[in-house]
Structure formats: structure tokens, C-alpha cells
Chain A
């Protein structure tokens, strides 16, 4: 079980990296958050592979068939890291990691029990051999290449929203 402290630390660090952060505890809550952050007219891609992704789809009014033509991607990711506020996106299970890269808005659902405390815990989970692609995502795409002025949204998403899904009511671990 994930301690509420770990969830809080993850959400704080992700928020500091300019990600939008949300916490829900059931499918209805997930749909409520989604309808608030993904507009009904935006073509959104959702692989619909996991229970949480299936629970998310009814709230997406305009569903894109694939990520190439989508303006937003809604997906459940492999996990997250509290230490850095990062998402862990991987290619296992036939996932297209670039689905969270090409559209302008990336919405990631993270199961609370998939939050690792530190970077080391995350990489230890790949001890048996890493998948083709592991990408740690921390905040939206950014650059400071012109006069070191921060600009958000270069080649990757300009907006990143993270929804932590705690299926059990949080209790101290």
C-alpha cells in the first residue's frame, strides 16, 4: 500500500515541474477530472487497454483513433517517482511511448501503488532487463535556448496533467 505521504510528495514535485496534478479514488472521480481538463471538442486518444483507461473513455467526447491525429492523449502509465515528480512511461505491453509525446496535451493516469519512492526503486524494477523504451517524463516539454528564457511546449506536449488513482482509501503504510 502506498502511503499518502508518498503520493503527496510525488504530486508536489510533479507540480513544481509545471505539471497539473489531480488525485481521485474511483472511476467517477476520474471521469469528473477528465471532463474538466479535456475539452469535449478536442480529439483525444486513449488506448483503452487497462481498467482505468476503460473507465476513462466515457468522458472523452471526441475520441481519436490513434495518437498521430490526436490533440490529447489520455493513458495509464507504468508508474511514477516521488523523488523527482516524474512519470515512468514504458514500451512494454505494446504501448506507444510516443503517444504521450506528439499531441499537445498529455494526460497520465498513475495507480497510487505504482509510485516509487526514489529513482533507484524505479530502475530496480527493470532488473530483469529493460523494455525497448523507458522514458521518465517530468513536466511539459521546455527550452531555455533563447536568452535562457523559459518557454513551455517545444517539440513535446505543452501541457501535462497527472491523475493519481488511489483505489483503496489512503491509510498510513
Chain B
């Protein structure tokens, strides 16, 4: 798997993925487990709807005044000792980070999971610059060893089973084969611990940024996020603009929603709030903290008809319940973000020309809307993107012609009846010509139309 976007090949990717039995078994298991755990976790929340409404309102409040919050965050973080950088796009973010590391002579970087860093293909760039970048989240570590990309935003190696991980560790780390997740986890702990202690820099993302205090907030379970942000002398955090929340007073709302929606935990093992650098007399925190605020298309999305996707807090609940994601897996979508939120972000961030087949990757069943903790109207956004695909001329010529004919027929009863007659008469031919395509799978038209059967 490479950094090249393959969203245009979504249909082919999906057809291939459907034949991958171990992947599909893993996906089913993940989706079912998370679904059940999520329901359990929310059972202890008194008024879930009020909580979702509040979270959604807070996220909209930020989006409505994003620039203001961004400036407030930058000034408060600077006052607390951080250096704030603004990156307009992926390449400027990569260069800023590479420059910070090069200026300090850093050679080794330990990294905790960051989807934004995947979005800008940061690792590949830093490796090209001669740096050693080690992913320390267990799932990310596994896929880094194989050279793949994440297939789920919360559980990156969800598509690998324990036998595959066991063989991988035996081959790459020279340890004895085991398929016991407990033992495999301990092996990773041992291997990565040394690197934490000797790394020149730590690189992390952030789940939220509290504007009023200039704080970064990270939710983690393994403890690697804490290591990356406190052990090395230099910490670089990269986050996209929309991660802002007004203040730490709003954090409880998101603590109650994010882990429950993501993994069904009532809280992750660790929630870290980092405000600036280590001050004189303190013994915690990086001596130098650089925060890279990445736009990479967000400002443009903000002014468009799909702006509500920027409310997303990256919990992954929408993918766990999506019948398409569950069947085709994360890699089929061909870019960083899979599943329902991924379809929308990919289309908006990379452009319709590079991603238009993705907007079909939904049954519009609305399961994603039902679980979204911040009330993103995902189905409405799919429909807007489908309209946009037609407007921008990316729909298939046959589909366009067909729709035009159907539109005319549906507006005229006589034409419609004629069409019904033709479809009954020529159905065997359509089916034969359609072959394996959609036309070939159309159901046989009724001999007597429904409206004539009902008195």
C-alpha cells in the first residue's frame, strides 16, 4: 500500500476486498464489538441527546468564529511557551516540521497516532530527509512494520489477525512466533521503550485544542501519547484547524462522548492536557513545543455547503455501523479517511476529480447519522456531494442520458406507460446485454403495474 490515492478505483478496490475473507471477518468482528460496547457505554449517560446537542452546538460555535478561536489559541499557547506555526497545505506543513527537526539536528522521532500526519504523508517525507520515524501506537507500529496504511481511524491494524501479527513480529523483530496478543503486546512494549528514552523528538496529533488556554488535549489508552509528549526534549504537535474547542470547561462534554463513541469506553486510560512547555522549577513537559496548525483545505470547506463535516471529532462510530465500510474495509476508499465521514472529507479535501466514485459508497441508510455524537447530517452531505458530482460533470454519460430520459417520462403519464410497456417487452434483452452490470441485475418488471392492481 502506498501514499498514492486510489479513490477513483473504489469499485475495483471494493470488488477485490470483498474476496478477502480474513479482512471481512476482522471487520465484522470489529463493527459488532464496537457497536455493542458503544450501546453499553451510553447506557450510563443520563441524557445522551442533550449531550449530543451541546457537543454539536459547541462545534458549530467554533466553526462560526474559527479564525477568532484560532488566533486566541495561538496567542495563549505562545504565552505558555509554545511556538505556533501555520501551514496552509500539506507540503508547507511537511517542510515546517522537517525544518524544525533539521535545525536541532534531530535524527530519531517517536510518533503517536495522528490521522492528520497520515493525511499529509508526513512519515514518508521525514524518512526521505534521512530521519528515523517510529510509530509507537501498537496498531500503527504493526502497519508500519508491513508498510501499509491504517484501515480504521481508531484501530489502524483492524484488518490484521493475530496470526499475521505473530508472523510479522517473528520475521521483522527476530522473536519467537507467538499469536498471543498479550505476549505480542509485551514484545512491542520492550522494543519501543528503548526508543522513547533515546528519541530526539516526539511527534503527536491532538484530539482537541482548547482556545482559551492554548492547551492541546490527547486521548490515549496505551500511554505512548504521554511518552511522546513528555519524555523527549522536543515535542511537535500537528493538528488541523477545526480541532478547536472554546475552553477546557467544554472538555467534559467531549470526554463523555468521544471514548464512548469510539471504543465504548466511558473514558480512555489517559486524557492529557498539555499547556505550553516545561517552566523553571517544573519536572514535566517538553523543553520545546512546536504546534503546527494545518489548514489544508479546511477554510474552503468552511465556506461551502458541507461545512458541518468539520464538526467531526474522529470517533469512527460512523464507519463501525456503515454496511458499506463493514463489507469493503477501510483500504477500499483509497485515501486517509474511510467510511461515511471519510467519503465526505476525501471528496472535499482531494477534489471530486480524484474521488467521485466514493460518493456512491453509501446506501443512505442513515445508520451513521444515528450514531454521530455531534449530529453531522451525513446523509444530507452525501446527497449534496452527489448533486455536485453531476454539476461538475463527473457522472457517467450513460447515467446522465438515462436520468434525462426518465425525467421526461416521469413527467408525462402517456410516456411513462409506454416506457413500462417497453421495459416489460425488452427486459430479457436488457438483462442479457447488462451482463454483470447493474442493468443485468434489474428485477423483472411486473406484468401488471401496481397502480392497476390496487382498486
Contact = CB atoms under 8 A, between A and B. Distances in A.
A86 interface: yes
Contacts of A157: 223
Contacts of B361: none
Contacts of A39: none
A133 B229 CA distance: 10
Interface string B204-248: 000000000101000001111011001100000000000000001
Contacts of B26: 147
Interface residues of A, number: 45
Interface of B: 26, 29-30, 33, 80, 136-139, 142, 155-158, 160-162, 165, 181-182, 184-186, 188-189, 192-193, 196, 213, 215, 221-224, 226-227, 230-231, 248-249, 251-252, 255-256, 263, 266-279, 281-285
B226 A135 contact: yes
B222 A123 contact: no
Given A96-B283, A97-B230, A153-B185, A141 B221 contact: yes
Contact of A155 (B162, B213, B227, B251): B227
Closest 9 CB pairs of A and B: A156-B223, A119-B252, A91-B284, A145-B139, A154-B222, A155-B223, A96-B283, A151-B185, A146-B181
Contacts of B227: 98, 101, 155-156
Interface centre among B139, B255, B275, B284 (most CB of A within 10 A): B284
Contact of A132 (B192, B249, B279): B279
Contact of B283 (A86, A91, A151, A153): A91
13 contacts: A97-B230, A98-B226, A98-B231, A119-B251, A129-B213, A132-B284, A133-B272, A133-B284, A141-B222, A143-B222, A155-B136, A155-B189, A156-B222
A134 B272 contact: yes
Contacts of A13: 266
Contacts of A156: 222-223, 226-227, 269-270
A149 B29 CA distance: 11
Interface string A108-146: 000000000011100110110111111111111111111
A84 interface: yes
A154 B273 contact: no
Contacts of B272: 133-136
A173 interface: no
B375 to A, nearest CB: 21
A129 B270 CA distance: 21
A136 B30 CA distance: 27
B407 to A, nearest CB: 48
A169 interface: no
B222 A142 contact: yes
A76 B181 CA distance: 33
B219 to A, nearest CB: 10
A155 B192 contact: yes
A101 B29 CA distance: 31
A95 interface: yes
Nearest to A13: B266
A2 B267 CA distance: 23
B213 A94 contact: no
A132 B277 contact: yes
Given A84-B267, A98-B284, A138-B267, A132 B222 contact: no
A133 B274 contact: yes
B283 A94 contact: yes
Given A98-B230, A101-B223, A141-B221, A86 B181 contact: no
Contact of B221 (A119, A120, A142, A147): A142
Interface centre among A97, A147, A153 (most CB of B within 10 A): A147
Interface centre among A96, A98, A123, A144 (most CB of B within 10 A): A144
B162 A123 contact: no
A141 B269 contact: yes
A91 B285 contact: yes
Given A143-B222, A148-B29, 18 more contacts: A94-B283, A119-B256, A120-B252, A123-B251, A132-B276, A132-B282, A133-B273, A135-B226, A136-B255, A140-B269, A142-B222, A144-B263, A147-B26, A147-B161, A154-B221, A155-B193, A156-B223, A156-B270
A149 B283 CA distance: 35
Contacts of A151: 181-182, 184-185
Contacts of A98: 226-227, 230-231, 284
Contacts of B196: 155
B169 to A, nearest CB: 10
Contacts of A140: 269
A138 B269 contact: yes
Given A148-B155, A151-B185, A132 B274 contact: yes
B285 A133 contact: yes
Interface centre among B156, B222, B223 (most CB of A within 10 A): B223
B137 A145 contact: yes
Interface centre among A96, A97, A134, A137 (most CB of B within 10 A): A134
Contact of B142 (A123, A126, A145, A155): A145
A91 B282 contact: yes
A134 B117 CA distance: 24
Given A155-B193, A156-B222, A135 B271 contact: yes
